[in-house]
Amino acid sequence: MTLRNYITGLATAALANVAMAETIKNELDRAWAITPKGKFECLASKSASNPDILKFAGKVYFKGSLMGATRSDGTLTSGIYNANIGCPTIVASNMGYVVMTRPTHPTSFGINGYLVLDTNANPPELVEIAESQSPQDDKLPETRRFQWTSQGLTLSYFGYPVGTQGGDVNSPKPKMRKAKFLFRSGEVSQAG
């Protein structure tokens, strides 16, 4: 390998890291992700008199309180239920799929729900994946948590079975699990 190839490789890697860093942003009252179809944004209001807003590709899909939103009906127009103030945290984005997490119970429970926004669908669709339990789930590195293929996403998480809510005395015990989300069908299943 020549010095020129080595330097070119380093520069390419540095630019790739910069580009990836700019595709997702989480702030106290704002979160966004750049996708091939446009920018997804959540703008959380700092006052009760102003609504929270969910936008995609410049179009407003939801105006209201995310804390007051009902469980998702599969679209952005119903909002993204969040048991805490502020926007959901965007944890990954790939191929037009934006993975988010947010509290689904009072924050003292430490239970967060994963959901995927499919920006390839028209209109964009929301799919609930699974509920995780903190602080154990927070310790998983991103490289182990998300496995992307052209067919779907496998999410490794510490939490509850797919389709089951935590936070109840009858809830199954949280443990390491995998959930599989298939892009084409939108189907979510327990994997492994």
Place of tokens 């446009």: 38
Q: How many CB atoms within 10 Å of residue 191?
A: 15
With cut-offs at 50, 70 and 90, classify the pLDDT of residue 139.
very high
The rounded distance, in Å, linking the Cα atoms of 188 and 4 is 47
Q: Tell me, what's the pLDDT at 58?
A: 95
**Mean pLDDT (whole number) for 114-122:** 95
pLDDT reported for residue 118: 96
CA 42 to chain centre: 12
Least confident of 53-57, 80-84, 184-188: 80-84
Contact 61, 72 (CB under 8 A): no
Phi, psi of 133 (to 5 degrees): -120, 120
How many residues belong to the chain?
192
Which residue type occupies 135?
A: P
**Residue type at 71 in one-letter notation:** R
The residues, ordered by sequence, that sit 6+ positions from 33 with a Cβ below 8 Å of its Cβ are: 23, 24, 25, 39, 40, 90, 93, 98
pLDDT at 19: 37
pTM, two decimals, is: 0.84
pLDDT tens across 22-46, in order?
599 999 889 999 999 999 999 998 7
* pLDDT recorded at residue 177: 97
Better pLDDT: 85 or 122: 122
Annotated domain spans of the chain: 3-191
Secondary structure element (H or E) that encloses residue 4, with its range:
helix 3-21
In percent, the amount of the chain with pLDDT more than 70 equals 84
The DSSP-derived string for 118-185 is: ETTSSS-EEEEEEEEETTTGGGS-HHHHEEE-SSEEEEEEEE--TT---SSTTSPPPEEEEEEEETTT
Instruction: For residues 95-105, give the mean pLDDT.
Output: 94
CA distance 134 to 139: 9
